[in-house]
Amino acid sequence: MSSLEVALGPLGRDEVLARYVEFVAARCRPNTVLATVSDLRVFFSVIDKDPVAVTPADVFEFITVQRRGAGDGRVVRLADGGSGMAARTIRRRLAVVSGLFNWLVLCGDRAANPVPRGMATRRTGAGGQATGSPLIRTPRTLPKVLDPADVIALLGAVRRWRDRAMLEAMVLGGLRCCEVIGLRMEDLQPTNRRVFIADGKGGHQRLIPMSGQFFQSLSNYLSLERPTDTTTDAVFVVLKTSRRGSPLSINGLEQIVASAKGRAGLERATCHQLRHTCLTRLREAGMALEAIQAQAGHRSIESTRVYLHLADSWLASEYQRASDLIDASVGILR
């Protein structure tokens, strides 16, 4: 049995879906392939049809089921009060399903994609062209960041130099949790205070500066805690149990952060919030947006612009400058 068949499970019996996942696997990262398999499984568990027989009405039925969710509706999300799947989740699943049908159209197995691009409206855009509204509206929310006091409390709650170094990599360097776990010994440049990210999001590489505080904690971990008989080149390894000396997993890192959060008495603290906190503080300190983009590993500057809104001191200073000019002009007119 191939690894694809193991990943697909019941979907492996469907030749069309298996062929599409093989196509995705040839051009995307492993996590994208797993997400594709998962989202396709969800869709066809609701719409029990052959892919070539799916209609737009089936797509709308899927959206309705996803929004309704399971149960009697008494359990809701704290973020928005909804009882079904979050809008971003539904939108991502529709994107995956739409990708399948686009592929089927290119293969000649379908005449059109049954997933609508949006809903038509009466408004017209540039050139008199009709515009449409998104099929799924997703609210634009700001990432959550930690206060400096919470960061200090979190770092003070960790019990090992290894754990402190990993947290500092995220909150001082803006690394993603997968990038922290993926660090290899050869990626470290303590003399130049640089870290090479060999396998970032989307497979993109970058060389970024890192705080001396991180390298100090890292040095303590390497000299005092990391097993000397470790054969892996992964920087961060398991220190106990039968897996001692093997590379630490993302789940292991998340559990370390969760445990430190509990000991510190914090209501929230996740790996991604540590990354958001770092990038926000860098912007507040005056770091150029393009530099933050390079530090974060964002392919688009639009992903970085959110930190303009999080760094409220920047917005306040810009508003105050403009407000002073307006007040001065009004004073002249008077």
Domains along the sequence of the chain with CATH: 3-134 (no CATH), 148-313 (1.10.443.10)
Average pLDDT over residues 232-244: 93
Q: Which of 72, 99, 70, 74 is nearest to 85 (CA)?
A: 70
Helix (H/G/I), strand (E/B), else coil: 285: coil
For residue 317, pLDDT beyond 80: no
d(CA 122, CA 131): 7
Based on its alpha-carbon atoms, the radius of gyration of the chain, rounded to whole angstroms, reads 24
Share above pLDDT 70 across residues of the chain, in percent, rounded to a whole number: 83
For residue 119, pLDDT beyond 70: no
Among the residue ranges 120-129, 248-257, 265-274, the one predicted with the least confidence is 120-129
Angle at 93 between CA 90 and CA 99, to 5 degrees: 140
- Which residue's entry shows tokens 């996803």? 66
Q: Which residues are catalytic?
A: 176, 201, 272, 275, 298, 307
Q: Give the highest mean pLDDT range of 255-259, 295-299, 308-312, 325-329.
A: 255-259
* Alpha-helical runs (H) found in 187-236: 212-224
For residue 71, pLDDT beyond 60: no
Question: What is the pLDDT, as a whole number, of residue 129?
Answer: 56
Q: 6 or 50, which is more confident?
A: 50
Question: What is the pLDDT, as a whole number, of residue 163?
Answer: 97
d(CA 59, CA 201): 30
Question: What is the pLDDT, as a whole number, of residue 330?
Answer: 63
Q: Are 264 and 293 in contact (CB under 8 A)?
A: no
For residue 285, pLDDT beyond 60: yes
Question: What is the pLDDT, as a whole number, of residue 125?
Answer: 53
- Which residue's entry shows tokens 């609508």? 116
Among the residue ranges 2-6, 53-57, 210-214, 242-246, the one predicted with the least confidence is 2-6
d(CA 238, CA 186): 19
For residue 30, pLDDT beyond 60: yes
Question: What is the pLDDT, as a whole number, of residue 82?
Answer: 56
Residue 307 banded pLDDT, cuts 50, 70, 90: confident
For residue 5, pLDDT beyond 90: no
| pTM, entire model | 0.72
For residue 6, pLDDT beyond 70: no
Share above pLDDT 90 across residues of the chain, in percent, rounded to a whole number: 57
- Which residue's entry shows tokens 């492996």? 12
Residue 122 banded pLDDT, cuts 50, 70, 90: low
Question: What is the pLDDT, as a whole number, of residue 72?
Answer: 52
Question: What is the pLDDT, as a whole number, of residue 213?
Answer: 95
Average pLDDT over residues 153-175: 96
